[in-house]
Homo-oligomer: A and B are copies of this chain.
Amino acid sequence: MTRFGYLGPEGTFTQMALLAWRPAQDGEHRPFGSVDLALAALREGTIDAAMVPIENSVEGGVSATMDALNADEPLSVIGEVLVPITFVLAARAGTQRSAIRSVGTHSHAWAQVRGWMVANLPEAAYVQTLSTAGAAAGLAASSDGDGTAYDAAVCAPVAAHNNGLEVLAEDIGDNSSAVTRFVLVARPGRMPDPTGADKTTITVFQHEDRAGGLLELLEQLAAHGINMTRLESRPTKSVMGNYCFSIDFEGHARDERVGEALMGLHRVAAQVRFLGSYPRADGRSASILATASDDAFLEAQGWLRHLRGE
């Protein structure tokens, strides 16, 4: 049985991402206390894959994911999941909203429900917890009068349900269309086949930290018709001020235009770390210019062979 790790505890948005990943439905699911611990377990072979946040996470971990993917032993991204972020206010059965004096949750989640809190529970004190799910579990494990630090938790609906808490208010996030992006990471192996709606993730290390350097890299992408969807400069571990670039773009390493762009980057960069090509979570087909289609590349190859007299 395949063993899947995730950023726990049970009830986090990361677990929701893993539950939404169809191939994981029959596998074993193991929570980890941090992204680093999950990816270390993956590298050591204790688990077979790990679901981790890569962008806009409620419970942190994005930097840890990035840094772990860029560090020495290669790992591969093999899938992507988008999870809508929905918060509920949950409490032990019988708690009245008017009796809530304090609320526990992860600090990022607290930031995303401040509008609702100011309007509805302006007097409530905030208690920081390690995760939203931890807030729910901690509340459930306590009982009246035993000195629990808070009266209600802000968490995902599933965390309230798992812990037998009562939902006092639904959908209390200030931004009702918030979404977090997760990726499924595995040890390197066979990459997923192209689907026509794929993404590729790479890290590019520059030769020098200079003005033109990034432009030169981006021109390799532009020259081959590649559409970027995420770009970050990341400090490299050794010295502040030396940077690499973490990049997502549309397309699959087996697409002609992607292959040419990767080769171009490989030539001009100090190092290109290929982190995987995988189906997009939203299933949206890549927008490919006519001049960058596989046909356009194959036609150009034929033309070159002809004029070279090959």
- The stretch that binds B, out of A91-99, A163-171, A302-310, is A302-310
CB proximity of A6 to chain B, nearest CB, Å: 14
Q: Map CB proximity to B onto A237-248 as digits: 1 under 8 Å, 0 otherwise.
A: 111110101000
As for how many copies of this chain the complex holds, the number is: 4
Given A36-B111, A230-B243: A309 and B223 interface contact (C-beta under 8 Å): no
| A303-B229 Cα distance, complex, nearest whole Å | 24
A300 at the interface (CB under 8 A from B): yes
Q: Are B232 and A231 in contact (CB under 8 A)?
A: yes
Question: Could you say which residues of chain B place their CB within 8 Å of the CB of A35?
Answer: 107
Q: Are A260 and B260 in contact (CB under 8 A)?
A: yes
Q: Map CB proximity to B onto A210-247 as digits: 1 under 8 Å, 0 otherwise.
A: 11101100111111111111111101011111010100
Please give the number of chain A residues whose Cβ is less than 8 angstroms from any Cβ of chain B in the complex: 85
CB within 8 A of A212: which of B36, B129, B222?
B222
Question: Could you say which residues of chain B place their CB within 8 Å of the CB of A238?
Answer: 175, 177
Q: Are B237 and A178 in contact (CB under 8 A)?
A: yes
Q: Are B227 and A211 in contact (CB under 8 A)?
A: yes
| A225-B264 Cα distance, complex, nearest whole Å | 10
- Seen from chain A, the residues whose Cβ lies within 8 Å of a Cβ on chain B are 33-37, 40, 55-57, 60, 62-64, 67, 82, 107-108, 110-111, 114, 126, 128-130, 175, 177-179, 181, 190-191, 209-212, 214-215, 218-233, 235, 237-241, 243, 245, 253-254, 259-260, 262-264, 266-268, 274, 282, 291-292, 296-297, 299-301, 303-304, 307-309
- Give me 8 A-to-B residue pairs in the complex whose CB atoms sit less than 8 angstroms apart, sorted by A's number: A34-B108, A56-B235, A211-B222, A214-B228, A215-B215, A218-B218, A267-B296, A267-B300
